[in-house]
Amino acid sequence: MAQVISPKTLDTSQITTNPQDYDYDLVIVGGGIVGLTLASALKDSGLSLLLIEARVESAAVMKGQAYAVHMLSALIYQGIGVWDKILPNIETYRRVRLSDANYPNVVEFNTEDIGKDDLGYVAEHQALLHPLQEFVKNCQNVTILCPAEVVETQYLQDAAVTTIKVAGKTQTIRSKLLVAADGSRSRIRQAAGISTSGWKYWQSCIVAFVKPEKSHNETAYEKFQASGPFAILPLPGNRCRIVWTAPHEEAKTLCELDDEQFLQELSQRYGSQMGKLELLGERFIFPVQLMQSDKYVLDRLALIGDAAHNCHPVGGQGLNLGIRDVAALAQVIQEAHQAGKDIGDIKVLQKYERWRKLENLTILGFTDLLDRVFSNTFLPIVIVRRLGLLTMKYIPLVKVLSLKLMIGLLGKTPKLAQR
C-alpha cells in the first residue's frame, strides 16, 4: 500500500474522470529537496498540490551527499519559514579562501566584504530533506504520495494528465500544471521531447567526509590544481566534506586506493593547516557534466532544478540554482493565480523561463570557464588567471562583485528572499 506522508490521505478511487474538473492545481514529480522546496514555497498560495516521489530513500541520502547553501538560498528558506528548522543542523562558513596551486597570492573573502554575518552554509542532504518533509506535512494544501510511479504524461489544451501507478494500480490525475523536479535524467523531460545541450567533462568528482585534527574555523576552501578544482567544505562536529575533481582515470585510481594511501594523497591536496586527517565512511565518485535544457517550459509543463540544468561542481552552484528556480516559479504562478490567470498557460510559464534560463546559463558558463582556465598549464592562461586573482585581491569592487556572483546576490531577487 502506498505510503502518504501528508496531513491528508490521497484516495485514488476518488480521483475525478470529469474532463471539466481538476484533481489538483499543480502536480510536482520528484520529492527531493527541490520538489519539497517548491511545495513549501506554495503553502499559502491557495493552490492544491500533489507531490509524487518514486523512492522512499534517495541515492543522495544513501551516499551522504552534502551541499553548499548560498546566501540567496538561505534568504529563500527564511522567506518560506523553514530556515529556523534547518540552521541548527548545518555549518556556517564566514571565510572563503581561493588559491591557485602553489601561487602565494591567496584571495580570502570575508563577511566584512558584503556586510553580512555569514557568507554561506554547508548542509548534508538529510539536514535539508528532513526539515522540508516535516514542514510539508503541515501544509494543508499539499499531499505527498510515496512511493508512486509516473507511467505516462499528456499535455492537453486545458490540462496536464498524469498517469500514476500506486500499489500495482493505475490512476490518471488532471492538473493545470505539471512540474518536473525529477533530476538530471528526468523522465518527464524526456517524455515531453525536450532536448538538451551540453557535454560531459574529462573529469570525475570524488566526494568524502574527513575529520581534521584542528578546527576548520568556519572556512571554505577552493583550491585549483592542473587536474581540477579541490574544495573543502566545513560541516558540524568539526568534519569537512571534500569535493575532489580529477581526470577520469586519475579519479578512478584514487578511489581504488586503500584508506591509508588515499589519505596520503589527500593530505598533499588538503594542506597542513588543519593537521592530521581522519577519513569518515566511504568515498564516492561520479562523472561531471554540463547540461542546459533547450526549453524550461511547454504548455502545462515546467522544469526545475537538475531536470532543467546541470553544472560543474566548482563553486557549489548546482542545488542553489534549483532553489532559485523554485523561488522564481513560485512567484510567477502565485501572481498569475492571484490575477485569475491559468497557471499552466505557456504565456505565464514563459515568464519563469525568461527569468531563470539566462541566469542559469550565466552560472553554467562561469563554472565552465573557471574549470577550464584553472585546470590548465598553458603559460599564457596561467599568467592571465593569476593576474585575475591579483585584481580580485587588491581591487575591492572586483572582489565584492565576484563574491556576490558566487553566493547569488547578483541578478533578480525573488520576493521570497525579500521577506
In sequence order, the 6+-apart residues with CB closer than 8 A to the CB of 408 are: 70, 71, 72, 73, 320, 324
Same domain, yes or no: 281 and 295 = no
Residues 194, 248 within the same domain: no
Instruction: Clarify whether residues 182 and 221 are in a common domain.
Output: no
- Residues 180 and 43 occupy one common structural domain: yes
Phi/psi of residue 312, each to 5°?
A: -60, 145
CATH code of the domain covering residue 270 = 3.30.9.10
Structure pTM? Answer: 0.93
Q: Same domain for 233 and 309? A: no
What is the C-alpha to C-alpha distance for residues 117 and 102, in angstroms, rounded to an integer?
A: 30
- Residue type for position 69: V
Q: Which domain holds residue 392?
A: 12-91+124-198+290-418
**Total domains in the fold of the chain:** 2
Residue 21: predicted pLDDT: 76
The domain boundary, picked from 261, 288, 315, lies at 288
Cα–Cα distance measured from residue 133 to residue 272, given in angstroms and rounded to the nearest whole number: 39
Please indicate, yes or no, whether residues 225 and 346 belong to a single structural domain of this protein. no
Q: Are 68 and 212 in the same domain?
A: no
The interaxial angle of helices 318-338 and 71-80, nearest 10 deg, is 40
Query: Is there a domain that residue 103 lies in?
Result: no
Longest dimension (CA), the chain: 69
Strands (E), 294-362: 297-298, 301-303, 309-310
Rounded CA Rg of the chain: 22
Q: Are 122 and 67 in contact (CB under 8 A)?
A: yes
Instruction: Report which of 109, 104, 96 is spatially closest to residue 221, judged by C-alpha positions.
Output: 96
Same domain, 163 and 297: yes
Question: In order along the chain (419 residues), what is the average pLDDT of each group of 10 residues?
Answer: 39 47 94 97 96 77 82 97 97 96 93 94 96 94 92 96 92 96 96 97 96 96 94 96 96 95 93 93 93 98 98 94 98 98 97 97 94 92 94 95 91 91
- Residue 100 placed within a domain: no
CB 164 within 8 A of CB 145: yes
7 located within any domain = no
Instruction: Clarify whether residues 175 and 220 are in a common domain.
Output: no
**End residue of a domain, out of 264, 288, 312:** 288
Instruction: Output the domain CATH number for residue 398.
Output: 3.50.50.60
Same domain? 336 vs 225 = no
Judgement on whether residues 346 and 357 belong to the same structural domain of the protein: yes
